[in-house]
Structure 1
Amino acid sequence: MDTKFTLGIDLGTSNSAAALTDLSNDQCHIVELSQIVAPNQISEKLGLPSALYIPNASEFPAEAIQLPWQQQNASHIIGEFAHNHGALIPDRLITSAKSWLSNDHIDARQPVLPWNSEIDEPKLSAYDCTAAYLQHIKESFLHSEACLDRHWNLADGQVVLTVPASFDEVARNLTAEAAEAAGLHNVTLLEEPQAAFYAWTAQSGNDWRKQVSAGDIILVCDIGGGTADFSLIAVSEHEGNLAVERISVGEHLLLGGDNMDLALAYTMRAQLDAEGTDLDDWQFLSLIHAARQAKVRLFADSSVDEVPISIPSRGSSLFAGTISTSLNRATLEAVVVEGFFPITSADDLPAEGNAAALQEFGLPYASDPVISKHIARFLTRSLQNVLASEDLRQLVGSDDALAGSFLKPNAILFNGGVFKAEPVRRRVLELLSSWSGGSEVRELQGYEPDLAVARGASYYGRNRTTGEGLRIKSGTARSYYIGLESSMPAVPGFKPPVKALCVVPQGMEEGTEVLIDQKEFGLLTGKPSHFRFFSSEIRSGDQAGEILPNAERELDETSRLEATLTAAEGFPEGQPIPVVINAVVTELGQLELWLKHSKSDQRWKVELQVRMD
């Protein structure tokens, strides 16, 4: 059946959005998402706050929180009202489910959210929340389009769902599974910075080729409400046409606009404390919300120097208990611009995390709030990655870009709500220029910071379906490895290091495979055993079949898999058998490791998700 539409979904940490491209007329528009904005009140908005509220059983009449497509009483609320009302009752509010999904210290399928809450109602897992958000977006898309007399069948469409470039294969796999559970089948996953780039090229039309040229290194800087995501894209020329390739991705950083709102609230709270006014916890939550709104207004209108803020009381006399304060432009810029984006040196990298032996358990937030330093670390690691591969070194080409301790971009594409603020964009440009000895770093024009990812995902789906338009060459964002037990005599008091076999080199394209048959390995069958998987975003030069002597020292461990493989015919249980390894990256970006008995046709498969475009 011919594909009739593409639906791009930006499942954001703080806010989500969806965009539809009708392939019959090649028109793309942002989908209005229905959501509860107050009891008995539903509205359609261009974004959906990624917030889920679990109400008390007697808190609202069932009909007050029911959406048009729901056939039974709702057990939770998603969207604007969930976010606003939940801020007043935080032990029933779930936010940042996307960050919990990628937290390797927590089982994403365990119902532990809201974190540290003692509510009587059943909790949800990060996986449950992800599936709930996606189901809400799916049902709202079908409903809102039907209200406009546009009736779609999901089987006729291509759905593209975005994920951070920094997501590991486990988080990507969980995202894909949640989409399947929500009724979105055979989705393609796309890295968010790439989606932003697709949106920029589509919005700019043919003019995008006038803004960049062969030899450019473009930093895609994506900072949203809860995360910061960095990617580098190299522009080259192939047969007279411009070609683009993603050459580096950053680490997963829980650092964004929410941190800035919190910093503003703490600053204003300190001012109130100095005046003798104390805020309780409920009032402080209200102050955070008010600080966010004041920040947006001040950054949006340069003629406004100060925004008044009123913090209500929960006492019987509302007006008598109201506390008045304000946020002025000087404080805003001191906290946000100077606090998060100061002019630092390129070798000033983020401070290490807290070394306290006992720490509160929760999300692994970035320990250093200075985004300038995180950008420096990313560019430093990007240079390591490029220099590790002769192909990438030749692709970058410019000696100036490769000179020194970090890779130097000469253009930047901003994305994420934080960059709607012109002072923040100006400061990042100033920062990059200072690192490059005063050389100008161009700001690519024509971006759409808060809706670009959804729109770009839809455009990408169109290009993928039609075979036309731009495609960013990317392949796997990292190289992937499987742990090997060292073969050596036992020594008292010494634990042999775990070696690592490279099974997927960085940049391996979907739809390709590699046979590692230059050496046989011993595979344990018939008994419980475990596989350890590792990755690296800075070892672009490693080739399939290469063995590293110490995986734990040189690589990042991404996951472990416990399994009992079917016993091999003719071998006693627990006796290792000789195998060679065939690694495949499927068209959907799924990694398949086939362990093949070298003396027969027997084989075993280990499957992990490593990348979706």
Structure 2
Amino acid sequence: MVKHQAAATSGDEDAPSRYVVGIDLGTTNSAVAYVDTEAAPGKLQSFSIPQIVAPQQIEARSTLPSFHYEAAKSEFPADALQLPWSKPSANYCVGMFARDHGITVPSRVINSAKSWLSHTGVDRTAALLPWHGASDLEKLSPLTVSARLLAHIRAAWNDAHPQHPLEQQDIVLTLPASFDEIARELTVAAAAEAGLKRVVLIEEPQAAFYAWLDKHQENWETLVSPGQTILVCDIGGGTSDFTLIRVRQGEDGKVQFHRVAVGEHLILGGDNLDLTLATYLEQRLTSGGKLSPGDWSTLVRRCRVAKEEMLTNNAPDEITINLPSGGSKLIGGGRQATLTKSEIEQVLVDGFLPAGTIDTPLEKRSSGFQEFGLPFANDPAITRHLSAFLRNHHHVVEEESVAVRPDIVLFNGGFFESSRLRRKLIDEITAWFLPTDPQFQLQILDNDRLDLAVARGAAYYGLVRRGEGVRIAANLARTYYIGVGQDEQGKPQALCILPATTQPGEEIDLQARTFRLRVSEPVEFPLFVSSIRLIDKAGEIVSVDQEQIRSLPPIRTVLRAKRRSEATEIAVKLHARLTEIGTIELWCDEIESDRRWRLQFDVRSATQTDVAAHVSDREAEGVLDEEIWSSLQSQLTATFGETATLKPQRLLQELETTSEMARNQWPASLLRRIWGELLDLEPGRRRSSSHEIRWLNLVGFALRPGYGLALDDWRVSETWKALQGKVVHNDANCRVQSWILWRRIAGGLNRGQQKAVAEPLLQAFRGLHRRVMTGQGTATFTPQESLEAWRLLGGLELLDVSTKLEIGGWIVDLLSKPKMASARSAMAWTLGRLASRTPVYGPLNSVISAEIATRWLAAIYRDRNRDPMDLLAVMQIARLTDDRYRDLASVDREEAAVWLETENAPSHFARIVRAGGNLDHEERDQVFGEALPIGLTL
């Protein structure tokens, strides 16, 4: 976990480098500034970055647009994108040409990678960008795109400074103050991937203020005075960041600056203006309908250009936006729209900076941009977010007030390049406080070149770390807590473990409370954070108010023992430490020994859509009394233990009789307990094929769907370690049961594990496909045996799209073949899962294109050998999601709805295709492949 001011370094060397370099890795533009400590000590300079501006044309510019473009095959000559330091065959570029050319080919450009780096709903290390890109390009992770931008900066610097490579210089890298802990870690990881390891982090609002201090180093003390509050309002292309800095009198009489508050993370910035303007124009261009995904992407990028032109001081009275048709040819008056100044004022200025009071609450409505992939702020009104921030932090000023009244404002970010937007916000802030102080007037600090200020401030901070310049004192700015149960009213309580006053290098010992850790299985602690409660003290227990404290992914540790059945509890104390470089460490110390364990943050639940942080109490549900469980445990031991007496074929019947419940009525908590016992008895599956069949079947049944309860990801991991995707008795029945197991718990497998499970099946199906289609080649299993193999492939939603396309292609070819009749239903089920518009657990970037899904539908329509599973498959493939990138064309959805009605499908299937909606419980089970444990839903 990386701290909010300064912080994560790796590979520091004792000797200071000649250059101190500040890098602003921005959402829309990146910039570099530096100080040559030998040539001109203390003098900040900007580094012009060479980049492709047109094919075979390189120019140095003061900023590097944060855009990545991958060229199509033969789109340009071989050396068109070659830089002085790159290979002639380079097929991608970053910077100005990537941005400008991407407007005409939006399916091949990646932008706003920084916003994706902070997206808690996706795996930020997975190759998912561009979110809806062309099928032939290499998708990249937000981390990789960020690393490529930094690698370009590194190569450009090294080309200009061969004797002083960037990787050997002290680097200060900026990031939003509101970045969460994982986004900070990933920012450092991106720098490391780019070869930059001597890196320190600094918050962008602080860097902007440092740039102001540098610009006014001769007179800044005359412009501020003790007791004042400075608001840094930093709004860029992707985020809105608010920071409060208090001006205080130091003991030595000198003015001191203290960063006292930062805002929550808001994905709200210039990108939102582009999307809003595009949505406004779309209604006009389509008479209330929707553009195709390609036209929509083009419109968004053209709206960005129009926005920048229309928000300048010398803006024209109107601007016309044209959409291309049939390639790059412009419509000569067909699809075009004209924007006037008054419309810009209404849609953008009043829309994002609406009038209100300091008490105007946030609106809890959807922003309407979920289809674009990013979790944009629900309320687009920047003024309402700012007023909420000032209200939430009223305690940071000495006087009693309902909100912080800023005396001084420093604007930063591309949003404020527009004087109209800047003036509007000044007017709104002034209006909030005039009723209580008619003389109130904001003092505005000036920072020229807003696009360079953050990089310059970062370089200045690099000097501050060497003892030069003026330092901003900054503590954690957030308070961290661990959950400790509930109060008498049942309200969650939390223990403060790291107060906002914690200083770098400080350790917090929490000796007043003892925790119990259970040996041999993960122990999970709820974790909370607040950027509002900044006065809570270490060891203090507080009630968890969701308005002030939000939950984070849990923290965990595992104390190993030989067997899970030998689990015991030990008493521990907790202590926390904020390291000198800003990372947060949490430790458990055993009271009766010197053993200690570091608590690990559950990064996976914070970065993948298929695994959510645990919020349920089902794990602790009372299910059966211990006497009945003891009998069930004895029956499992009698089947798989060292002295087995019970035949595996009778085990399920005996368990149902003893529990007095059918297996489908066993609650999830009992199922997971059965799983734990079976893992301890794993050697017993080796006794015979029958034993392995029953063991595999029951393990998968007890752990399905592989997620949904606390620690399920650990259980799946332990199952994988025990099996490694293999069986002991390599006969058909054991193989089939292993496939059923992996299908049942597929949602808990990671991408690598799913790929490992799929690979041998893919090889076998390639042979089967060739055998059925050409009569040549060999098939390693029969069509009947392939039934469960097909279903397993359909359940592996984390397979890459190209693999899914290959599987779907086989099914389309084989669907009507008489030799495959026995697997016909399974193939239809798999095709429905592969082409579903709404994955069961996989991320949305894994959905195949609407065009291919439409072709697969046609294969089902053509086949006269109708199977009931066809109806479910067609509904899944054609259902409406209101996401233009996933939905089939309206004419294709209507065709599917009519077909479903003709085939006498359940009436609501056609309704879901036409208007959207949810499946009932039984149909959700069909989509999953069988009934889910009681209490769990998909």
Please, what TM-score do these two structures have when normalized by structure 2?
0.58
Indicate whether 1:514 and 2:508 are aligned: yes
Q: Distance in 2 between matches of 1:200 and 1:191?
A: 15
Q: 1:362-387 deviations in whole A, cap 9, x for unaligned?
A: 3111122211111111111112xx2x
The 3-state SS of whatever aligns with 2:429 is: helix
Change over 3 Å in CA distance of 1:534–1:197 after alignment to 2: same
Q: After superposition, where does 1:37-48 map in structure 2 within 5 Å?
A: 37-48=53-64
Match of 1:101 among 105, 117, 132: 117
**Pairwise CA distance, 1:22:** 1.1
Residue 577 (structure 1) aligns with = 570
Change over 3 Å in CA distance of 1:525–1:417 after alignment to 2: same
Residue 343 (structure 1) aligns with = 355
Q: Which has the higher contact order (CA 8 A, sep 6+)?
A: 1
The 3-state SS of whatever aligns with 1:106 is: coil
Q: After superposition, where does 1:31-430 map in structure 2 within 5 Å?
A: 31-71=47-87, 73-117=89-133, 119-143=135-159, 145-146=160-161, 151-154=163-166, 156-238=168-250, 239-268=252-281, 285-302=297-314, 304-307=316-319, 312-314=324-326, 320=332, 326-354=338-366, 362-383=373-394, 386=395, 392=396, 396-397=397-398, 399=399, 402-403=400-401, 405-430=402-427
**Pairwise CA distance, 1:171:** 1.0
What amino acid maps onto 2:480 in structure 1?
A: Y
Change over 3 Å in CA distance of 1:289–1:104 after alignment to 2: closer
- The alignment of Structure 1 onto Structure 2 pairs a total of residues equal to 581
Q: Which has the higher strand share?
A: 1
Change over 3 Å in CA distance of 1:479–1:318 after alignment to 2: closer
**Pairwise CA distance, 1:531:** 4.1
Contact 2:167/2:198 (<8 A) preserved: no
The 3-state SS of whatever aligns with 1:331 is: helix
Change over 3 Å in CA distance of 1:16–1:608 after alignment to 2: farther
What amino acid maps onto 1:527 in structure 2?
A: E
Q: After superposition, where does 1:550-565 map in structure 2 within 5 Å?
A: 550=544, 555-561=549-555, 563-565=557-559
* Aligned-residue RMSD, C-alpha: 3.3
Change over 3 Å in CA distance of 1:50–1:588 after alignment to 2: same
The 3-state SS of whatever aligns with 1:244 is: strand
Q: Distance in 2 between matches of 1:272 and 1:354?
A: 23
% identity of equivalent residues = 40
Q: Distance in 1 between matches of 2:535 and 2:239?
A: 29
Greater shift after overlay, 571-580 or 236-245? 571-580
Change over 3 Å in CA distance of 1:352–1:319 after alignment to 2: closer
**Pairwise CA distance, 1:7:** 1.0
Q: 1:421-476 deviations in whole A, cap 9, x for unaligned?
A: 222221111111111124111111244322111110011011112x1211111111
What amino acid maps onto 1:371 in structure 2?
A: I
**Pairwise CA distance, 1:591:** 0.8
Contact 2:367/2:379 (<8 A) preserved: no
Q: Distance in 1 between matches of 2:302 and 2:77?
A: 29
Q: 1:82-115 deviations in whole A, cap 9, x for unaligned?
A: 2222233333322222122212121211222222
Residue 444 (structure 1) aligns with = 445
Q: Distance in 1 between matches of 2:513 and 2:327?
A: 74
Greater shift after overlay, 310-319 or 236-245? 310-319
What amino acid maps onto 1:411 in structure 2?
A: I
Contact 1:52/1:77 (<8 A) preserved: yes
Match of 1:18 among 32, 37, 41: 32
Greater shift after overlay, 58-67 or 127-136? 58-67
Contact 2:352/2:383 (<8 A) preserved: yes
Q: 1:293-341 deviations in whole A, cap 9, x for unaligned?
A: 3443444334754456555544686584686655443333233222211
The 3-state SS of whatever aligns with 1:300 is: coil
Q: Distance in 2 between matches of 1:336 and 1:360?
A: 20
Change over 3 Å in CA distance of 1:301–1:524 after alignment to 2: same
Contact 1:590/1:607 (<8 A) preserved: no
Q: Distance in 1 between matches of 2:499 and 2:91?
A: 45
The 3-state SS of whatever aligns with 1:544 is: coil
Residue 459 (structure 1) aligns with = 460
Contact 2:367/2:378 (<8 A) preserved: no
Larger radius of gyration: 2
Change over 3 Å in CA distance of 1:608–1:236 after alignment to 2: farther
Q: Distance in 2 between matches of 1:256 and 1:347?
A: 22
Residue 44 (structure 2) aligns with = 28
Q: Distance in 2 between matches of 1:525 and 1:179?
A: 38
**Pairwise CA distance, 1:408:** 1.1
What amino acid maps onto 1:51 in structure 2?
A: F
Contact 2:477/2:534 (<8 A) preserved: no
**Pairwise CA distance, 1:484:** 3.9
**Pairwise CA distance, 1:172:** 0.7
Match of 1:505 among 490, 496, 499: 499
**Pairwise CA distance, 1:567:** 5.3
What amino acid maps onto 1:444 in structure 2?
A: L
Residue 482 (structure 2) aligns with = 482
Q: 1:405-425 deviations in whole A, cap 9, x for unaligned?
A: 321111100001111222222
The 3-state SS of whatever aligns with 2:147 is: helix
Q: Distance in 2 between matches of 1:369 and 1:330?
A: 20
The 3-state SS of whatever aligns with 1:225 is: coil
Residue 491 (structure 1) aligns with = none
The 3-state SS of whatever aligns with 2:384 is: helix
Indicate whether 1:9 and 2:23 are aligned: yes
The 3-state SS of whatever aligns with 1:450 is: helix
**Pairwise CA distance, 1:271:** 5.5
What amino acid maps onto 2:451 in structure 1?
A: D
Change over 3 Å in CA distance of 1:527–1:269 after alignment to 2: closer
Change over 3 Å in CA distance of 1:117–1:277 after alignment to 2: closer
Contact 2:129/2:140 (<8 A) preserved: yes
The 3-state SS of whatever aligns with 1:109 is: coil
Greater shift after overlay, 477-486 or 449-458? 477-486
Contact 1:169/1:609 (<8 A) preserved: no
Q: 1:171-224 deviations in whole A, cap 9, x for unaligned?
A: 111111221121111311101100000001111223222221111111111111
The 3-state SS of whatever aligns with 1:451 is: helix
Contact 2:67/2:99 (<8 A) preserved: yes
Listed as ranges, the gaps of 5+ residues in structure 1 are 387-391, 489-493
Listed as ranges, the gaps of 5+ residues in structure 2 are 1-14, 604-938
Q: Distance in 1 between matches of 2:363 and 2:293?
A: 30
What amino acid maps onto 2:502 in structure 1?
A: M
Residue 470 (structure 2) aligns with = 470
The 3-state SS of whatever aligns with 1:245 is: strand
Please, what TM-score do these two structures have when normalized by structure 1?
0.86
Change over 3 Å in CA distance of 1:151–1:544 after alignment to 2: same
Contact 1:420/1:449 (<8 A) preserved: yes
The 3-state SS of whatever aligns with 1:63 is: coil
Q: Which has the higher helix share?
A: 2
**Pairwise CA distance, 1:164:** 0.6
**Pairwise CA distance, 1:266:** 4.2
Change over 3 Å in CA distance of 1:75–1:523 after alignment to 2: farther
The 3-state SS of whatever aligns with 1:473 is: strand
Contact 1:161/1:457 (<8 A) preserved: yes
Change over 3 Å in CA distance of 1:322–1:155 after alignment to 2: same
